[in-house]
Structure 1
Amino acid sequence: MPPNFKDQNEYFYHGGWTPEMDNLLLTSILREKQMHSFEGTVIPVEFLYEAEATIEEETGVRVNRDDVYNRLQFLEHRYRSFKGLVDHAGTRWDKPSNKVFASEKTWTAILKNSEFIGAYTVDGEPEFKQMQMLFSGDGLKQNKNQEVITISDTTVEDVEIDKTNRLGKVHVRGQSSSATLNPSNRFDEVGNISDRESSNGKQVASCASSSPNAWRHRPYE
């Protein structure tokens, strides 16, 4: 049995976010991507606004685009962390029960590298199926001349992330600001903000590094 860690909810839900809101966010983005035939990990900005509206309509909780954007980063952090866990030698994921089994020695070694993996010592990732559909795409495709957010190795415009918040609370700044990323999320070493244009002249922003190894040099965080 793995060592006792905090309840999974203590790792996942801060700043007013709930399991229902995570499910609504993922469901909304996937639905919009399917309706508009967006493939890979491309997320048009319009889809973030749609997710924002869906969450408010269904839960009564008001969020903004930056809240949605940063929650998507955290959800991808969870996806990469859990995938790294179940791919680790010596672990076994029982999908029907959504539990991960490993020897105490294996758990100890994994948890030494990433405390966040403690979230999965009792139950697995509750949204893994939807996360996999959203975050594991191999190709990127941009359609309909829309502004997009791309999960790739670039930067994001006019956003600074507060390092004190594990969810990466966003503060929108002026044109000259820079982005400081939460050490707990995988979008490491992004550096200063810069603008770039897509091939069709529309603004393109990006959420993340595409490399799962960019977790502050820790394999599971």
Structure 2
Amino acid sequence: MYIPPQREYLYQGQWSVVCDTILIDCLERMKGHIYWDTPLFPSWITLSAAVELKNSVGVVFSEAELDERVEILRKRYKTFKALVGTNGFRWDQPTKQIIASDEMWEKLISKNEFAGAYYHHDEPMFSQLACTFGMNDVKVEGANEVVVISDNTQKVSTEVLEVYEAGVVEDEVTSPMVIPRPPVCRKLFDDGADVTDRESTTKKGMYFIDIGSDGMLGTRFEKGVALPKPPPIVHPEAGPSGRSPHGSSCASNSPITWWPHNFRRPPF
């Protein structure tokens, strides 16, 4: 059985692998930009592809030639996809060949003459063609394997359940009263001795903030400054006080106690 080489099926006239690649890339790019999901392409897309072909390879194609080439590319995709899915044909991707007997090839070519294009070699642009023409195809799953599950379930009894009313219980059952325990206070810190010295630990004096030679701020402490002192509670020139140590006494400041113990009356 003689089968012509693949080139005689796929490329005719000015068409080549480079031209097909430019055309498919343009169709796929334009299709993605405008979200085009119909099988037919508008004329402005094919005319855009014609401009790219002219600028890239210097070949001019008419709109009719481009439309015809798009249909040939679509035919290539569908033929190869149907060939791979036919029983008796196996696609050996490492060697890029279709493995089948001559009888299977003769039977298939008699139905579709264009299938002979893949007798010597597989489709060289199948992935690009699938992205352009096969996005809306329905995925065909393989034969489903039937799994028989053994029935080990137990049958539910269909007997009618008898419902009866329980007798009245006269004895009263009283549960013992449970008294909740008081909450436990947890001690977080040990009891320490009270602080006896509550005076400030700051040295007596005045602090000044100066700018040093390096431009940094620094503190300066002066002790020689006379600080105001609080007035004394007892006058230094007064004698012993005649006040009663008890605040409730009516004679806490009686003049009788001034003489002869005090020679001068205190100023208060």
| TM-score bracket for this pair, using the shorter chain length | 0.5 to 0.7
State the Cα deviation string for residues 164-185 of structure 1 (Å, max 9, x = none): xxxxxxxxxxxxxxxxxxxxxx
How far the C-alpha of 1:73 sits from its partner, in A, is 0.7
Same amino acid, percent of matched pairs: 29
2 CA distance for matches of 1:48 and 1:40? 14
User: Helix, strand or coil for the counterpart of 1:105?
Assistant: helix
**Number of the residue aligned with 2:136:** 138
Of 28-37 and 103-112, deviating more is 103-112
Moved over 3 A (4+): none
Distance across 2 between alignment mates of 1:98 and 1:40? 31
Q: Considering only aligned residues, what root-mean-square deviation do their CA atoms show, in Å? A: 1.7
Is the 8 Å Cα contact of residues 41 and 134 (structure 1) preserved in structure 2? no
Structure 2: give runs of 5+ residues left out of the alignment: 138-268
Structure index of larger Rg: 2
Q: Superposed, which structure 2 residues align to 1:95-110 within 5 Å?
A: 95-110=93-108
Q: Take 1:96 and 1:25, find their aligned partners in 2: how far apart are those partners?
A: 27
2:26 is the alignment partner of 1:28: yes
2:123 is matched with 125
In the TM superposition, residue 40 of structure 1 has moved relative to its aligned partner by 4.5
Superposition pairs for residues 1-221 of structure 1, below 5 Å? 3-138=1-136
What TM-score does the superposition give when structure 2 sets the normalisation length?
0.48
Deviation at 1:107, TM superposition (A): 1.5
Instruction: Give the secondary-structure state (helix, strand or coil) at the position aligned to 1:43.
Output: coil
Q: CA deviation at 1:42?
A: 4.5
Distance 1:64 1:96 in 2: 38
Structure 1 residues 4, 133: closer, same or farther in 2, change over 3 A? same
| Matched residue count | 137
Cα distance, 1:44 vs. partner?
2.6
Structure 1 unaligned runs (5+)? Answer: 140-221
- Contact conserved, 1:48 with 1:68, CA < 8 A, in 2? yes
Give TM-score, length-normalised by structure 1.
0.58
**SS of the residue aligned with 1:112?**
helix
Question: More strand per residue: 1 or 2?
Answer: 1
**1 or 2 for the larger relative contact order (CA 8 Å, sep ≥6)?**
1
Conservation of the 8 A alpha-carbon contact between 1:41 and 1:136: no
Tell me how far 1:110 sits from its aligned partner.
1.1
